[in-house]
């Protein structure tokens, strides 16, 4: 793979939040720029006026930054090829539109939406691929004048050359061929003067000196039109790399049906940006050597090569992401994880904002014990419930039947006595108590551990019992035991 510095770009349309697929495209661009010692640009493609929103733009930028995918040039950062929103670049597109019109490579078309739709309907009925028939291709000045008089607002169409094979040279897919006859003369400027994506993208990539266009496979069908425009404008054609779709586990295109599809949804659930980046990098790419799967962004910057991007679709495996996120949760500094968990404690109503400082030490203990079992941080709500919920309830029949075993009152009395006799439950006590109880009561195994667990938490499984005892502390352990004993009496 070339070591020539490459200039690449991510060009999201601000028509929704940052999609997992978009984030992966951004990441691959970023990594390719780093790997080749080149630069990475982000610009906003807001040509779809009806669907573009300021809010989407803000969220996309925020989430890219959150993932640690930073850019050298573009929106917010600035640079010499701005502005970095398509709709602010209309004056830059104009000379190229004029050039195409002058050279007869584009023309005004006065067909109304309804007329074009009518044509399409007919073509479909005849089993033809819908495309513009070229009705306005060769209008005389008089015909144009007549339409203008009628008050029709024209679009500008690109005149697609006939009988041409358009070859898209794709770094991931090899040569992909398209027949120009299937394309039809397409609109490059709408009747309100707004540029159309396929045109704006070409001019932008040219003016911004983009050397390789890395984007999702869903854009492959746009690429022949763009190649025709490059050629018509005498621009050098950049290299293309169309990255495969991300599929859900049922192998259909990933959508809401498959769960969370946007970066902010994962962020809200408490996925770590490092884990998401690591996971996304492996969706369609793998390093040359080894079985290793945990990579930091720094490592990826060194390892990534475009030629290892596969053309097979990548399957989004949430179990793998959860596993990976768990790894990052356990590896991160405890303090950082505590900080990230605090909003969930507040959200669940376990603590108030005011209590964050006073209860901090206790929260640290809870998070430390729970993080061994967490896949994403929102799960702290579930894990921590046992420490904040004083009501007595059993999670299921199994728990209920454990608590009704004959030996339970005797066992809990024995535990109560031992706890009563110490000032606090420290690690040492918690670690040693089960052996002592086993010896004194003769109860062992599940009858010992699970019965105590159910008495203290209402659950049959969960975090280490030793941690639970210590975190609950002397008073809570005694009151919980009393509650159960009263219930059983």
Q: Which residues are catalytic?
A: 256
**24 scored as a contact of ligand GLU (CB under 6 A):** no
* Rounded least distance, CB 79 to ligand GLU, Å: 18
Pairing label, strands 7-10, 39-42: parallel
| CB-CB contact of 244 with 220 (8 Å) | no
Closer residue to ligand GLU (CB): 219 or 267: 219
Closer residue to ligand GLU (CB): 215 or 480: 215
| CB-CB contact of 113 with 191 (8 Å) | no
Of the listed pieces 5-13, 155-163, 178-186, 464-472, which binds ligand GLU according to CB under 6 A? Answer: 5-13
Considering only CA atoms, which of 325, 326, 360, 368 is closest in space to residue 342? 360
**43 scored as a contact of ligand GLU (CB under 6 A):** no
Closer residue to ligand GLU (CB): 10 or 394: 10
Of the listed pieces 7-15, 100-108, 394-402, 417-425, which binds ligand GLU according to CB under 6 A? Answer: 7-15
Cα→Cα distances 307→239, 284, 302, 436, 474, Å = 13, 11, 14, 62, 61
* Rounded least distance, CB 318 to ligand GLU, Å: 23
* Rounded least distance, CB 9 to ligand GLU, Å: 7
Closer residue to ligand GLU (CB): 47 or 325: 47
Reduced to 3 states (helix: H, G, I; strand: E, B; else coil), residue 309 is: strand
Measure the CA–CA gap between 379 and 341, rounded to whole angstroms. 9
Among 6, 7, 8, 11, binds ligand GLU (CB under 6 A): 11
* Rounded least distance, CB 13 to ligand GLU, Å: 4
Q: Which residues of 7-39 are buried (b: 16+ CB within 10 A; e: fewer)?
A: bbbbbbbbebbbbbbbbbbbbbbbbbbbbbebb
Cα→Cα distances 195→55, 85, 225, 402, 432, Å = 22, 12, 14, 70, 74
Closer residue to ligand GLU (CB): 8 or 472: 8
Total of chain residues touching ligand GLU, rule CB under 6 A: 7
CA atoms within 13 A on the CB side of 230: 24
* Rounded least distance, CB 120 to ligand GLU, Å: 24
* Rounded least distance, CB 46 to ligand GLU, Å: 9
| CB-CB contact of 8 with 239 (8 Å) | no
Structure tokens belonging to residue 361: 């030490």
Of the listed pieces 11-19, 60-68, 123-131, 343-351, which binds ligand GLU according to CB under 6 A? Answer: 11-19
Site for ligand GLU in 198-227 (CB under 6 A): 201, 215, 219
Write out the residues near ligand GLU by the rule CB under 6 A.
11-13, 45, 201, 215, 219
């Amino acid at each position: 793979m070339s070591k020539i510095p490459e200039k690449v770009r991510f060009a999201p349309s601000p028509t929704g939040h940052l999609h997992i697929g978009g984030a992966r495209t951004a990441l691959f661009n970023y990594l390719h720029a780093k790997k080749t010692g080149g630069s990475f640009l982000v610009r906003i493609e807001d040509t779809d006026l009806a669907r573009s929103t300021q809010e989407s733009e803000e969220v996309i930028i925020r989430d890219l930054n959150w993932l640690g995918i930073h850019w050298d040039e573009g929106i917010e950062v600035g640079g010499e090829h701005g502005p970095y929103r398509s709709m602010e670049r209309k004056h830059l597109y104009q000379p190229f539109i004029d050039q195409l019109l002058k050279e007869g490579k584009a023309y005004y078309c006065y067909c109304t939406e309804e007329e074009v739709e009518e044509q399409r309907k007919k073509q479909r009925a005849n089993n033809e691929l819908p495309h513009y028939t070229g009705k306005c291709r060769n209008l005389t000045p008089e015909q144009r004048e007549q339409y203008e008089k009628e008050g029709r607002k024209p679009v500008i169409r690109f005149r697609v050359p006939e009988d041409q094979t358009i070859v898209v040279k794709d770094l991931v897919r090899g040569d992909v061929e398209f027949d120009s006859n299937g394309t039809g003369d397409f609109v490059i400027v709408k009747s309100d003067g707004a540029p159309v994506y396929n045109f704006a993208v070409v001019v932008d990539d040219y003016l911004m000196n983009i050397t390789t266009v890395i984007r999702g496979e869903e854009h492959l069908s746009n690429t022949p039109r763009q190649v025709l425009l490059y050629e018509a404008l005498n621009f050098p054609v950049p290299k293309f790399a169309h990255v495969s779709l991300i599929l859900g586990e049922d192998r259909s295109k990933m959508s809401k049906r498959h769960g969370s599809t946007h970066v902010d949804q994962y962020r809200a659930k408490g996925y770590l940006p490092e884990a998401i980046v690591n996971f996304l990098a492996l969706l369609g790419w793998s390093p040359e050597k080894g079985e290793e799967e945990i990579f930091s962004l720094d490592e990826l910057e060194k390892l990534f090569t475009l030629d290892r991007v596969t053309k097979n679709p990548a399957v989004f495996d949430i179990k793998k992401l959860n596993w990976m996120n768990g790894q990052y949760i356990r590896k991160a500094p405890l303090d950082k994880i505590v900080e990230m968990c605090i909003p969930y404690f507040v959200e669940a109503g376990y603590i108030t904002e005011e209590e964050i400082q006073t209860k901090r030490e206790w929260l640290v203990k809870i998070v430390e014990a729970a993080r061994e079992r967490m896949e994403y941080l929102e799960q702290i709500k579930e894990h921590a419930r046992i420490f904040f919920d004083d009501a007595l309830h059993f999670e299921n029949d199994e728990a209920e039947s454990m608590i009704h075993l004959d030996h339970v009152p005797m066992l809990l009395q024995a535990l109560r006595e031992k706890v009563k006799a110490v000032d606090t439950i420290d690690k040492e006590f918690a670690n040693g108590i089960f052996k002592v109880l086993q010896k004194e009561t003769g109860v062992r195994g599940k009858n010992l551990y699970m019965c105590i667990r159910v008495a203290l938490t209402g659950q049959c499984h969960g975090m280490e019992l030793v941690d639970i005892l210590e975190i609950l502390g002397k008073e809570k352990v005694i009151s919980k035991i009393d509650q159960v004993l009263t219930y059983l009496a």
